[in-house]
Amino acid sequence: MIVTSKELYKIAQEKNFAIPAANYIDALSAAAHIEVAEKLNLPLILEFAEAHETLLPFEDGLEIGKYYAEKAKVPVVLHLDHGTTKEKIFQAIDFGFRSVMIDASSYSFEENVKRTKEIVDYAHLRGVVVEAEIGHVGEGEEYDDQENNNNIYTTAAEAKAFVEATGVDSLAISIGTAHG
């Protein structure tokens, strides 16, 4: 059953638990993530990243995610992770994804606000939740090379100004962590 992350975040906050977000790159990984969530009777954020279209055509990724999320017996947020192009993000929204991430963090603060606001306006009209990123959330390899580490920490003032300017629902910030 597909739900929005706003619904799940409220439940998670009330019951004091975290919701795993698992990226899938094919039908097997999507099915496995759903199977584990169902065995544990816990909600799941099922994510397809725009960058994964090198492994799976974008449209196929949307189809696979929607298929498994709709038939799940637990609440599933169908999420486009790290969307970088307006066209792909709009496509995911129009296809039925209930949550999207606009990652314009490589742009200036002002350009990031502009790009994010455009996604927020489109998504909110359709009941879709939007996540954005400011600063730079590093990748694990970057931490091995301290001289070329380009992590940019997010300040509280930047986060507040960004949310106020965009109306975004959630925010990925840089606090020195790495993923990917």
Cβ–Cβ < 8 Å for 68, 46: yes
CB count in 10 Å sphere of residue 1 = 11
Q: Among 157, 137, 89, 92, which Cα is nearest to 117's?
A: 89
7 falls within a domain = yes
Query: What is the domain range of residue 75?
Result: 2-172
Cα 108 to Cα 131, 133, 162, distances in angstroms = 17, 12, 12
pLDDT digits 0-9 by tens, 4-39: 888 888 888 998 989 999 999 999 999 999 999 999
Evaluate whether residue 177 is within a structural domain: no
* pLDDT at 10 (0 to 100): 86
What average pLDDT does the segment 91-95 reach? Answer: 97
CB count within 10 Å of CB 70 equals 12
Mean pLDDT of the 47-57 span: 94
- Alpha carbons 67 and 2: distance in angstroms, whole number: 10
Distances (CA, A) of 151 to 89, 91, 138, 142: 25, 30, 6, 8
Choice between 137 and 86, residue whose per-residue pLDDT is larger: 86
According to the model, what pLDDT value does residue 103 have?
94
pLDDT tens column, 115-174: 999 999 999 999 999 999 997 665 555 444 445 445 568 888 999 999 999 999 999 888
- 141 lies in a domain? yes
State the total domains in the chain.
1
Collapse the DSSP code of 132 into the 3-class scheme (helix H, G, I; strand E, B; otherwise coil) and give the result.
Answer: strand
pLDDT of residue 143: 43
Residue 142 resides in a domain: yes
- Within a domain: 178: no
Whole-angstrom distance, CA of residue 45 vs CA of residue 6: 11
CB-based contact 162:148 (threshold 8 Å): no
pLDDT tier for residue 49 given thresholds of 50, 70 and 90: very high
Asked whether residue 150 is assigned to any structural domain, the reply reads: yes
Residue 154 lies in a domain: yes
Residue 145 lies in a domain: yes
Q: What is the DSSP letter of 81?
A: E
Which are the catalytic amino acids?
81
* 44 has pLDDT over 90: yes
CATH number at residue 122: 3.20.20.70
